[in-house]
């Protein structure tokens, strides 16, 4: 019964996202063939690790800019008590399944949510070795362990330019920035709100102190899904349906880039960016990038309303919510929802 109910919900989810070409027209969604992303490789990095036993988190490693940083951190814990490493792992599993449904090869930075996941330089090296068309590092932020109701929202971290490593600079100043902007737009389209703190501009934050982008020689998107200190952000990060929200947004951003992007190069600079070393008016840090205009959501149905519809269907089937059908055995079935959504995205991109 659960499998058939999930299939029904997936159909409703996909149909709800389509905008009919003419009034009264029946929306049609061509099912994914499983080959749309054939030949593409995606490196997924679920932030942090389940355990650091036997490892020194403060061991200094290359930061990509001539200095050093701590090998790794333990990650934040939401005000509801859920660790970041578990949130990022769950979201990554949904994203992975959706991408593999479309034929992509997916490489993970860590094998599970119980053991060690590697230092920041080791994860960057693994991304480089994978030769991925795109790498995505999935994280969540925190501003105050005691709670912070004033700061909320998602953002993408992009590196200050130029990056000393020419290969990393070429990857991040062109296609990496393009992919980050597309991911930002996917989050906006899914109904998420850009962060209102830490110098974030239209969902993009430029930083020179994050080692990953400075060490990664394939295009990288660094996602901060929300602020675990904010009550609403934390609730969404902690819940199964909220994690599905994030997974769908991340997967949509990846698919959009792989099918329509990847054309940017380090020189000349893409629209809305700066040449390496330039300064954007109103900023003080060299290499700060401008994300360009925010793309409005043209879909009248928000992801939140669609998930509410999904919850109603589950309740009608005798289930009280997504939590009752999601566990380590059924997470793959639930990710079929993301696969159906991807079919819709593909149809709209044609």
Q: Which residues are catalytic?
A: 224
Residue-by-residue DSSP string for 39-101? T-EEEEEESS-S--TT--TT-EEE-SSSSEEES-----B-TTS-BHHHHHHHHHHHHHHHHHH
Q: Where are the alpha helices (DSSP H) in the chain?
A: 2-17, 84-101, 120-130, 166-171, 177-189, 211-215, 231-238, 240-260, 303-316, 331-349
Q: Which of 38, 36, 133, 9 is nearest to 347 (CA)?
A: 36
User: At which residue do the structure tokens 């990509």 appear?
Assistant: 64
- Compute and round to an integer the Cα radius of gyration of the chain: 20
Give the number of residues written for the chain.
Answer: 350
Residues 6+ apart with CB under 8 A from 4: none
β-strand partners of 188: none
């Amino acid at each position: 019964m659960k499998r058939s109910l999930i299939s029904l919900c997936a159909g409703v989810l996909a149909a709800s996202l389509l905008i009919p070409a003419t009034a009264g027209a029946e929306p049609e969604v061509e099912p994914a063939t499983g080959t749309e992303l054939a030949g593409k490789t995606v490196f997924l990095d679920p932030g942090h690790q389940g355990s650091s036993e036997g490892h020194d988190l403060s061991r200094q490693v290359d930061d990509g800019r001539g200095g050093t940083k701590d090998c790794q951190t333990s990650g934040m814990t939401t005000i509801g008590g859920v660790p970041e490493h578990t949130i990022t792992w769950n979201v990554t599993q949904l994203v992975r399944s959706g991408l593999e449904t479309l034929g992509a090869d997916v490489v993970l930075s860590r094998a599970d949510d119980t053991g060690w996941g590697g230092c920041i330089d080791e994860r960057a090296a693994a991304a480089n070795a994978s030769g991925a068309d795109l790498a995505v590092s999935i994280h969540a932020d925190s501003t105050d362990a005691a709670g912070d109701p004033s700061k909320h929202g998602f953002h993408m971290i992009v590196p200050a330019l130029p990056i000393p490593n020419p290969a990393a600079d070429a990857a991040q100043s062109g296609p990496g920035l393009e992919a980050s902007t597309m991911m930002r737009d996917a989050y906006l389209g899914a109904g998420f709100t850009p962060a209102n703190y830490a110098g974030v501009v239209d969902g993009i934050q430029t930083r020179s102190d994050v080692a990953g982008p400075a060490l990664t020689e394939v295009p990288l998107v660094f996602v901060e899904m929300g602020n675990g200190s904010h009550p609403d952000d934390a609730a969404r990060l902690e819940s199964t349906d909220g994690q599905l929200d994030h997974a769908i947004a991340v997967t949509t951003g990846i698919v959009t880039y792989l099918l329509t992007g990847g054309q940017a190069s380090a020189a000349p600079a893409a629209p809305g960016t700066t040449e390496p070393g330039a300064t954007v008016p109103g900023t003080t840090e060299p290499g700060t990038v401008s994300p360009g205009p925010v793309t409005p959501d043209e879909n009248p149905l928000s992801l939140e309303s669609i998930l509410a519809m999904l919850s109603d269907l589950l309740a009608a089937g005798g289930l009280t919510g997504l939590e009752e059908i999601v566990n380590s055995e059924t997470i793959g079935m639930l990710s079929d929802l993301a696969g159906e959504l991807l079919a819709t995205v593909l149809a709209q991109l044609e």
